[in-house]
Amino acid sequence: AADDFGHFIPRTPRAVLRPGSINDVVEMVRYAKKHRIKIGMRGQGHSTHGQAQVEAGIVIDSSTLASIQIKSDHAVVGPGARWREIIDASVAQGLTPPTLPNFIDITVGGNIAGGGIGGASHRHGAVVDNVLEMDVVTGLGQLRRCSAHENPALFNAVLGGLGQFGIVVRARIKLLPAKPMARMYTLKYPDFASFLADVRAPTLDGRFDHLEAEVFQDTNGIYKTVSLFAVKYYHPSAPPDDVALLDGLDPIGAEVADMPYITFLKRLDPIIDFVKSIGAWTLPHPWFDVFISESKISGYVAETLSTITSADTGGGNVLLYPCRRSKFCRPFLRIPHEDEIFFLYDILAFGPPDPAIVAQMIARNTAWNTRATNLGGKRYNIGSTNLTREDWKRYFSPLWPAVVLAKLAFDPLNVLTPGQGIFPGAGMDD
């Protein structure tokens, strides 16, 4: 509970609660409020800068609240349920969540706090755009049900609200019919400009169910070539029309692979197992994650990647997820508003077990974040960046007054989720 996936910010709590029921969470939040003790919920701890940790406070371990019930068009899940377990249960009944993260071992509760981006975000928005209803424990120790029609202010604050306004103890998530097969087209581009020219049309017309890209190194370790992974789900009786799907696209190479849908969702498992086997999973992970608009992405990627090689990232992945602004509707998940298309841009670096070098990497992330902010970009809040109160005001701008009002309404004593650093003082008077 004192660690997270970043492995470089230790924050030791006074206690860890493994709740046997939702009522245990209610009682512990009331206790924390009464005694002015900080408290927060931690799932898999997959953020990288101490976001889910609580120094000298109380950590709620969500793993004991991991129930899953699959209904005809939605799932009712506990915050500690991992996406892996949800898709195992839902796909067995011919259903699937609309948007899923690539790493399916993170929890629903953590994804709701952060927003949740995936390869389907150009069609279905973020994970939080597909949450129908929640049971939430506010910082006042009140258990409240909320949705777009019941307690909508709390509903909108919690979705993408970084744990500042309430602790999710149950969520109802939309499900769609799942097709049994996936066809993945790996489309290769010699440079970023040619990739960017091609990806626009399928992002807007939604011809593919899943879109993501990776920037690869050349023989000199310089990030240059791009592969677009475009996926179409289908029934075996009606396979995809390759010609129609690839119409208007001009890659220099293409590979096609068919696999069961569930196999596609678990495609990273062998890679993660290998990374764990060589000990890299336990290395520091000073990740950088930011949303950048379509009109700014080319220059921004060129500016950032021109300064590093694979040696500077430990060989970590550089990923891009095209998204559509009109598919994102949760106000506190901040995204660029300049263009209809924007990208989640990830540099998933591995750092050495050397605090000085990791500090340099985080300083570089911080400079990149400032540059992105100046271009109208918004940070995706799982990464490692040093942020001031002014940085948070700019992140939430122009909604900062609404954020403060929501904090006053739902956590006025400022006990919830201190690891984000948004409200660093002991109470709202700070």
β-bridge pairing 223-234 and 181-189: antiparallel
60-115: pLDDT as tens digits: 999 999 999 999 999 999 999 999 999 999 999 999 999 999 999 999 999 999 99
Give the per-residue pLDDT at 379.
97
Flag whether pLDDT at 427 surpasses 60. Answer: no
Average pLDDT, the chain: 96
**3-state SS assignment for residue 167:** strand
Pick from 97, 91, 99: which is nearest to 118 by CA?
Answer: 99
DSSP string, 228-242: EEEEEEE-TTS---H
Token output for 46: 């997959």
Work out the percent of the chain whose per-residue pLDDT is above 90: 94
323-328 contacts, C-beta under 8 A, 24 or more apart: 323/117, 323/121, 323/122, 323/125, 323/203, 323/291, 324/121, 324/122, 324/123, 324/125, 324/203, 324/204, 327/121, 327/122, 327/123, 327/124, 327/125, 327/129, 328/121, 328/125, 328/126, 328/129
pLDDT at 78: 98
pLDDT at res. 218: 85
Q: What percent of the chain has pLDDT over 70?
A: 99
Are 48 and 12 spatial neighbours (Cβ–Cβ below 8 Å)?
no
- Packing angle, helices 294-305 and 355-374, rounded to 10: 150
Rounded Cα–Cα distance for residues 264 and 147 (Å): 32
pLDDT at position 256 over 60: yes
Work out the pLDDT band at 311, boundaries 50, 70, 90: confident
Confidence grade of residue 430 (pLDDT, cut at 50, 70, 90): very low
User: What does pTM read for this prediction?
Assistant: 0.95
According to the model, what pLDDT value does residue 220 have? Answer: 82
Asked if 137 and 26 touch (Cβ cutoff 8 Å), the reply is yes
Least confident interval from 51-60, 302-311, 359-368, 392-401: 302-311
Angstrom distance (rounded) from CA 325 to CA 304 = 24
How far, in Å, CA of 382 to CA of 301, rounded?
Answer: 19
Mean pLDDT of 248-262: 98
pLDDT at 428 over 70: no
Mean pLDDT of 130-154: 98
Predicted confidence at residue 426, as pLDDT, reads 53
| pLDDT at residue 294 greater than cutoff 70 | yes
Q: Given a cut of 60, is residue 341 above it in pLDDT?
A: yes
- Considering only residues 122 and 307, tell me which one the structure prediction assigns the higher pLDDT: 122
Residue 219 has pLDDT above 90, yes or no: no
Is pLDDT above 90 for 172? Answer: yes
* pLDDT tens digits, 262-279: 999 999 999 999 999 999
- pLDDT at residue 248 tops 50: yes
Say what the pLDDT of residue 429 is: 46
Among the listed ranges 23-32, 229-238, 305-314, which one has the minimum average pLDDT value?
Answer: 305-314
Q: How far is 296 from 225, CA to CA, in rounded Å?
A: 19
Using alpha carbons only, what angle is made at residue 332 by residues 368 and 123, rounded to the nearest 5 degrees? Answer: 85
State yes or no: pLDDT of 290 exceeds 80: yes
- Condensed to tens digits (0 to 9), the pLDDT of residues 352-378 reads 999 999 999 999 999 999 999 999 999
392 phi and psi angles, rounded to 5 deg: -65, -35
The pair of structure tokens assigned to 260 is 């069961």
pLDDT over 80 at 173, yes or no: yes
Q: What is the pLDDT of residue 320?
A: 98
Decide: 130 and 375 in contact? Cβ < 8 Å: no
